[in-house]
Amino acid sequence: METSFYRQNRKEFADYMEPGEAALFYCGETIRRSCDENYDFFANRNFIYLCGINQKESILLLEKEGESCLETLYIMEPDFMKERWEGSRITAERAEAISGISNIKFIKEFPNDVKRVFEKIGVNAVYLDIDRVSGQLLKSCADRMQEYLNQTYPHVKVNNALPVMKKLRTIKKPCEIKAMEIAQKITKAGIEAMMKSSRPGMYEYQYKAEYDYALAQHNGVAAPFSIISAGKNNFCIHYDSFTGQAADGDMILNDVGARWDYEVTDVSRGWPCNGKFSDKQRLLYECAYRTSEYMFQTLKPGIPMEEVDNTIRRYNYEQLKEAGICKSYDEVGTYMWHKGAHHVGLDVHDAVDAADAVTAPGMVFCIDVGIYHEEWGIGFRLEDNCLITEDGCSNLSKDTPRTVEEIESIMKKGTLH
């Protein structure tokens, strides 16, 4: 992303702040996995949205003074020995070039600056990016800062920045959409690689290897959660073991995406491992395909997102009813196990203002039609990324083979090995 993207995002957030208020955003920290090993670091996406710095322990401080907003970015200081083991750290010059923030300090200065900010006359409120889920055990940096403020500066009101950030992230800017389009092309290459190599007896980890290899050839980075399954494993919606083996006649399910410039895709395709749809597989797949096509033909600005979900469910039910699968709408839940739409962006399930949302130009969300017929042993989903335009919508992932004919045709082209 260009520096102007991050500058604009910070300005839009600062417009929600009142004079005398502050805001703190944390990039995050590594989490210990075992012994001296940590999990891979994954930067907080709201932090990325505001400054584009992808380095642990970085902090963004905003201070609203009148109509202006003072911006300070804290980064780790140079450390020769640690950098020898962990890799180079971002320099102040590079951090400024990426974020557009000129006031760069080292983390060791942060505690004194916090004291200065919250002991300043007139500062009585701070925004923290608080995002908790039920059962969460680990405390985030924002959680710990809230506890510190409650104990040390009880007069300071803590506002949650998350609702504001969700509003800002709901409508994608042109540069975000462009990044998604690039990611779609890379995702297409990965899915086609799996289709071309597919054969009975192939293990799920082999499909994933084909996908990962294809993305590596296109400078793409896989989104954090790839779902690739075969046969009965398709009935686990968020399956991630990659240990199953495809038997002749099994459907292969994939739910994957590449990341480009932090923006991700989320695309699902289902295909028979032997390259030829059986009559029952074709019957169910074409129900999902017709439902998907209907959505892309009718979606436009002004539709409640709840109605998008409901329409997918109702229309797909009509397809299943016509195919003789369902007799009444009460039965549709036997074959449709999840909702049909979710937003996508910096996160696969993007953190946006989805409650009571209405479709608007610049929104990007998935049209996800899943059918799971356990009795027949057929489970798959057809998922594409929908961009709402000024007068309709477009399918960002339309070039990834999605009809029965397209899928069978590319699978006839032979294996990669």
- pLDDT (0 to 100) of residue 134: 81
Give the Cα separation of 171 and 365 in Å (integer).
Answer: 11
Relative orientation angle of helices 404-411 and 279-298, to the nearest 10 degrees: 120
Tens digits of residue pLDDT in 160-176: 999 999 999 999 999 99
410-414, Cβ contacts within 8 angstroms, sequence gap of 24 or more? 410/192, 410/195, 410/196, 411/195, 411/196, 411/198, 411/271, 411/275, 412/275, 413/196, 414/196
For 27-44, letters b (16+ CB in 10 Å) and e give: bbeeeeeeeeeeeeeebb
Q: Quickly state the pLDDT bin for 358 (edges 50, 70, 90).
A: very high
Residue 351: name the closest of 264, 410, 413 by CA. Answer: 264
Give the residues across from 291 on adjacent strands.
none
- pLDDT (0 to 100) of residue 416: 44
Q: Domain 3-169: give its CATH code.
A: 3.40.350.10
High-pLDDT (> 90) share of the chain, %? 91
- pLDDT (0 to 100) of residue 147: 95
Kindly state which CATH superfamily the domain 171-411 is placed in: Creatinase/methionine aminopeptidase superfamily (3.90.230.10)
- Cβ distance 56 to 82 under 8 Å? no
Tens digits of residue pLDDT in 364-415: 999 999 999 999 999 999 999 999 999 999 999 999 999 999 999 999 976 5
Q: Quickly state the pLDDT bin for 177 (edges 50, 70, 90).
A: very high
Global pTM value: 0.94
Domain ranges of the chain: 3-169, 171-411
Q: Is the pLDDT of residue 124 over 80?
A: yes
